[in-house]
Structure 1
Amino acid sequence: MTDRKGASDAGGLPLDDRISRALTGAAVGDALGGPVEGYSPEQILERHGGRVHGIVGPWFEDWRTARPIAPYHKGDGHITDDTLLTHALIRVYEKVRDHLDAYAAAEHLVPELTAEPHWIPELETEAILLQRVFLAEKWLVARLHYGHVDPREAGSGNIVNCGAAMYMAPVGLVNAGNPAGAYAEALDIAGAHQSSYGREAAGVFAAGVAAACTPGATPSSVVETCLSLAKDGTRSAIEAVCEVAARHGDFESALVPLREAITPFDTVGPDYRAPGLGARRPSRLHAIEELPIALGMLLVGAGDYRHTVLGSVNYGRDCDSIATMSGAIAGALGAEVPTEWAKPVAESSRIDLSAPAVSLARVAREIFERDTERRRAHEAMFTSLLDRA
């Protein structure tokens, strides 16, 4: 697989900049996709009189009552639960200051959901994160806090969706340049939240972010790394979608073909808001839709942030998570996030997009130093064992 054009030439970009662009890229993609989440490309086209090319307002003016199950102010630059959970995971890294696992999710991520209030843009108030996250994320609290389930197994029984994958960018950034390490760490963390192909997607997404941080990386090399690690239906879905994506250089022409490519692997079905009876159940044959489409749009956009994320947004369906993932990888590759999007997202959402990146970069360095010490200790021990042979 070769890149046709425009892949980011950011080989010399330092880690701090990659982390900043990846996290900002994820948050902006999330905010752009939020107001059109759950709708088809045709519905988006009709509602907005054309494709979405930036920040737009809510789908419904009466957003508080239009969908009682989700009384959220999506739009106007508001981040959603994807970014809220991404930043929560960064705060867990700040506490642990080392690699994370399922027990860290139980001991630190669950309190992030239930303890300290944060400004929730879509609720326009301060609240605990538990009051905003979807039912599949509330599962963490029900199973780990109230059910006292083994954290490594707590994800079993939850619906299989992108809930764990959507906030795993920090894992890839902490393991920058080490996709296999990112994959393993994300799988461990996600075991507390998801199972089956939902958990697999978390590992592959983290690996993709880690691969994007490698000097000289391109959209195609990221996809190839993801394929080298992905298993079962997730691998097959990425392969099918990206084979189609490689034929397109414009997201408008790619929207229908990419949906057709993912359809055999997607359990949700054609009506995103009315999934079938077989939806979101464990399977070795299926995959979540969001990650393969995000990687496909990365290829279509050739790593350019604007093209990649707008393709993800206009794809519809779970497009805030798709744009979160594609935006994170594009940013990690070195693509610049447009200031005309990042600034109003930060202002409207009342979040500091810079502080989490600065903090995570500091933690990543500390973890790398620990990893180096551990590796040297292992080398010395193993060498001493060989000498005795």
Structure 2
Amino acid sequence: MYVLQDRVAGVLAGAAVGDALGGATEGWTPEQIQERHGGRVEGIVGPFLADWRTARPIAPFHKGDGHVTDDTLMTHALVEVYAKRRRHLDAYDVAADLVPLMIGERRWVPELEDHALILQRVFLAEKWLVAKLHYGHADPREAGVGNIVNCGAAMYMAPVGLVHIGDPRGAYAEAIDIAGAHQSSYGREAAGVFAAAVAAAAAPGAAMEDVRAAVLGVAHDGTAAAIRAVFDAVDAFTADGGDPCDVARVVRAAVAPYDTVGEQYRAPAMDARLPSRTKSIEELPAALGFALARGGDLRAAVLDAVNYGRDADSIATMAGAVCGGLHGIDAVPADWVADVTAASRLDLDAVVTAMTETVREVARADLDRAARRTAALQSLLSREEAR
């Protein structure tokens, strides 16, 4: 039986555990991960470097040990904005509500092991929101132009998909609007496509093929090409009976031509993260590829993302959200949820409840608006036919 709160919980818990597990391996290669951990990572692990407090490039963040990163901090902040406004959002709400949360309210930041501002944890591409909207007073619809083009907007767009369950195109459009305050080019496009994936996944009766159709139905330019290349490669790989643990190699080879960062993740190419109509962020196609290869199995897809390395936390966040939407909270390993919420001091139940109530309220308003629109169209057509 379909239960809305179960799907909302699946999306948000799947995203959070993916984020926490992937944070421990972010930035490293699959080979380095296997050497460090004596094989594939199969759950929550500690920091990659023992001296993480001072070691570059990790310091001062305590990654691993079940600590969520900025992906979850930003996702939950967006949930707060939805819960406050109880309606669909746009770029102006990012300026009016999301940015003030980033700079005006201290909260527990697990990687800093302290109460701090979200601003003090996020990457430069997210600090851009504060610089452009709070200090620069840029038009929210255009503030993302000029920013680093990365997955920074896409990583927290799962709530947009939830307020558009069953309507991937609506999710895409709203996320594109919201992300205009943060990103441009293929970074903004990925935000829209990820929201569409969540909207499709969390719909009653949805399967991975519905997610596949939804993302290919809305994606444009390099993002569409990258997703299609990954899907084709995964299809061929699984048809040949390849070892599922090798799927990371297949996904990386398929997405590499569209990824501007290059093979050395910590030493990006000179044209990395620049606007382009032919390129894509790596994270979204990779996450969708792992979800497809594993048939929507959350545990397997998240672990593929974790062992992939590179931007593992964001890839696992997206894979976890999509698979959690497909199967609900029971698909998320209960021990992961318990350990991550305890280690990160997350009140996930409260976040899920707030999001579920908002989804219901927005859905009722959408239904009423649709009824009025239907009546208007029927009146228009009947008058035309009567002429």
Query: Does 2:326 align with 1:333?
Result: yes
- In 2, Cα distance between the equivalents of 1:202 and 1:75? 25
Query: Does 2:93 align with 1:104?
Result: yes
2:115 maps to 126
Q: 1:250, 1:301 within 8 Å by CA — same for their partners in 2?
A: no
Query: Does 2:248 align with 1:255?
Result: yes
Query: Does 2:178 align with 1:189?
Result: yes
Q: 2:185, 2:277 within 8 Å by CA — same for their partners in 1?
A: yes
1:276 maps to 269
After superposition, what is the alpha-carbon deviation per residue over 1:180-217, rounded to whole angstroms, capped at 9, x for unaligned? 11000000000000000000000000000010112232
SS at match of 2:39: coil
Q: 2:201, 2:207 within 8 Å by CA — same for their partners in 1?
A: yes
1:23 maps to 12
CA displacement at 1:385 relative to structure 2: 3.7
After superposition, what is the alpha-carbon deviation per residue over 1:105-162, rounded to whole angstroms, capped at 9, x for unaligned? 1100000100111000000000110000101000000000000000000000001000
Query: Does 2:140 align with 1:151?
Result: yes
- In 2, Cα distance between the equivalents of 1:198 and 1:176? 22
- In 2, Cα distance between the equivalents of 1:99 and 1:251? 39
- In 2, Cα distance between the equivalents of 1:105 and 1:250? 43
Worse-superposed segment, 87-96 or 350-359: 350-359
Of 347, 358, 361, which residue of structure 2 is paired with 1:363? 358
- Code of the residue aligned with 1:126 in structure 2: it is H
TM-score (norm 2): 0.95
1:315 maps to 308
1:8 maps to none
- Pairing of 1:200-219 with structure 2 (within 5 A): 200-219=189-208
- In 2, Cα distance between the equivalents of 1:337 and 1:218? 17
- Pairing of 1:373-384 with structure 2 (within 5 A): 373-384=368-379
CA displacement at 1:15 relative to structure 2: 1.4
CA displacement at 1:32 relative to structure 2: 0.3
CA displacement at 1:251 relative to structure 2: 3.8
Question: How many pairs are equivalent?
Answer: 378
Worse-superposed segment, 330-339 or 378-387: 378-387
- In 1, Cα distance between the equivalents of 2:10 and 2:378? 41
Structure 1 unaligned residues grouped into runs of 5+: 1-11
CA displacement at 1:68 relative to structure 2: 5.9
2:165 maps to 176
1:345 maps to 340
After superposition, what is the alpha-carbon deviation per residue over 1:326-360, rounded to whole angstroms, capped at 9, x for unaligned? 00000000151111111010100011122111111
Query: Does 2:361 align with 1:372?
Result: no
Query: Does 2:293 align with 1:300?
Result: yes
1:95 maps to 84
- In 2, Cα distance between the equivalents of 1:220 and 1:388? 41
CA displacement at 1:70 relative to structure 2: 4.3
- Code of the residue aligned with 2:337 in structure 1: it is A
2:154 maps to 165
- In 2, Cα distance between the equivalents of 1:108 and 1:212? 28
Query: Does 2:72 align with 1:79?
Result: no
1:287 maps to 280
- Code of the residue aligned with 1:355 in structure 2: it is A
Deviating above 6 A after TM superposition, structure 1's stretches of 4 or more consecutive aligned residues are: none
Q: 1:250, 1:300 within 8 Å by CA — same for their partners in 2?
A: no
Q: 1:251, 1:297 within 8 Å by CA — same for their partners in 2?
A: no
C-alpha distance 46-68 of structure 1, shift in aligned 2 (>3 A)? closer
- Code of the residue aligned with 1:293 in structure 2: it is A
SS at match of 2:112: coil
Query: Does 2:48 align with 1:59?
Result: yes
Worse-superposed segment, 30-39 or 249-258: 249-258
Q: 2:52, 2:58 within 8 Å by CA — same for their partners in 1?
A: no
After superposition, what is the alpha-carbon deviation per residue over 1:42-77, rounded to whole angstroms, capped at 9, x for unaligned? 111111111100000001111111026741000000
Structure 2 unaligned residues grouped into runs of 5+: none
Q: 1:64, 1:73 within 8 Å by CA — same for their partners in 2?
A: yes
TM-score (norm 1): 0.95
- In 2, Cα distance between the equivalents of 1:303 and 1:384? 44
SS at match of 1:20: helix
- Code of the residue aligned with 1:271 in structure 2: it is Q
SS at match of 2:54: helix
- Code of the residue aligned with 2:191 in structure 1: it is A
